[in-house]
Amino acid sequence: MNLYEEDYEKITHCAANNFTLSEIAVILLQDPEEFQAEYDREHSEIRKRFLVGRLESENTITQSLRDNAEGGNITAVQIFDNKRKEKDFQAAKDRILFLK
pLDDT digits (tens, 9 = 90+) for 25-76: 999 999 999 999 999 998 999 999 999 999 999 999 999 999 999 999 999 9
Do 15 and 51 meet the contact criterion of CB atoms below 8 Å apart? yes
Q: Among 68, 100, 95, which Cα is nearest to 83's?
A: 68
Question: Could you tell me the residue ranges of all domains in the chain?
Answer: 5-98
User: What integer pLDDT is reported at residue 4 of this predicted model?
Assistant: 97
Name the band, by pLDDT with cuts 50, 70 and 90, for residue 99: low
Distance between CA 3 and CA 16 in Å, rounded? 19
User: What integer pLDDT is reported at residue 54 of this predicted model?
Assistant: 97
